Structure 1
Amino acid sequence: MKRLWTPAWIARHVALVVLVTTFLGLGWWQVSRAAAGNAISWGYAVEWPIFAGFVVFVWWREVRHTLRDQPTATDDAAATTSAPETASAPETAATDETGPVDATAEAGRRPGIRRPVRVARGTVVDEVSDNADLAAYNRYLSWLNANPGAKPGDYPG
């Protein structure tokens, strides 16, 4: 539970309380306006509590995500005791009908969400191109790349 009392989480808890209180207050204000005869306020009176519910839903989802993904002290101890055993054992990859199975999935632990790797891909332009201007420009860029301190006016071509 200490994970939920970091400065970032305290800010989230405060934001939850402020937003839910504000949204419910605005909903009550719209109910009072609707009771005074403003018919369109009935729609807003329903919307504001829905917004408050959404804030609570997102907060609860983030709390569950934080508690589930971070290892506890017993998980750390188990990982350190099992690490030497797995290092000496030969590596065998388990497979099923769909392909290799992740070892962390087999151990009952859910693998973390990872960001995709972005690979920069450049186009290969043939020097013998139909477009002579493009080839000349590519030679110019190659020269600039080879001479990082040079100015564009120093280009010999």
Structure 2
Amino acid sequence: MKRLWTPAWIARHVAMVVLVVGFLGLGWWQISRATAGNSLSWGYAVEWPIFAGFVVYVWWREVRLARRPPAETGEPSGDAAAGPTPAVTTGSRPAVRRPVRVSRVPAAGVVAEDADLVAYNRYLSWLNANPGARPGDYPG
């Protein structure tokens, strides 16, 4: 519970209250416009309270996630016979991990030439050498 009273969480609580009060106020304003004869305002009068409800839902969900106990780290417990260790999870979904960077450079000495790629590159270099030419003028 102490985690919900940090400066960042206090800012979230204040933002939620300001947004909900503002959205409900805008809804009330649209109702007053709709009763004055602006029929388009009836749609907005319904829309603003829905926005306020969405803000409350997101805030409630974030508070619920923050109050959960920390997930297990997934470190091996020393018992190798127990099987593989589970993936680190946050709640019911797997935690986000950094992607693995894979080098796309071919191994030294391996040159894979594609005939179509070579022909296309030759065509592009011809177009670059002849700036006023049209693609149909290509002799190859």
Q: TM-score range by the shorter chain?
A: 0.5 to 0.7
Give the gaps of 5 or more residues in structure 1. Answer: 76-82, 95-99, 135-157
Q: Which has the higher contact order (CA 8 A, sep 6+)?
A: 2
1:104–1:110 Cα contact (<8 Å) kept: no
3-state SS, counterpart of residue 119 of structure 1: coil
Q: Which segment drifts farther, 120-129 or 46-55?
A: 120-129
3-state SS, counterpart of residue 50 of structure 1: helix
Determine the C-alpha separation between the residues in 2 that align with 1:38 and 1:53.
24
Q: Which amino acid aligns with 1:40?
A: L
Name the count of aligned residue pairs: 112
Identity, % of aligned positions? 56
- Report the equivalent of 1:56: 56
Q: Which amino acid aligns with 1:115?
A: V
The C-alpha deviation readout for 1:98-143, integer Å capped at 9, x for no partner, is: xx562989xxx95774213312231427346364xx9xxxxxxxxx
1:120 aligns with 2:101: yes
1:12 aligns with 2:1: no
Q: Which amino acid aligns with 2:80?
A: E
3-state SS, counterpart of residue 13 of structure 1: helix
Q: Which amino acid aligns with 2:65?
A: H
1:93 aligns with 2:82: yes
- Cα RMSD after superposing both structures: 3.5
- Report the equivalent of 2:23: 23
TM-score, normalised on structure 1?
A: 0.58
Distance 1:10 1:128, change over 3 A: closer
Determine the C-alpha separation between the residues in 1 that align with 2:57 and 2:28.
21
Which protein is richer in helix relative to its size? 1
- Report the equivalent of 1:142: none
Give the gaps of 5 or more residues in structure 2. Answer: 122-140
Matches for 1:129-140 after TM superposition, within 5 Å: 129=113, 131=118
Determine the C-alpha separation between the residues in 2 that align with 1:55 and 1:124.
50
Distance 1:15 1:123, change over 3 A: same
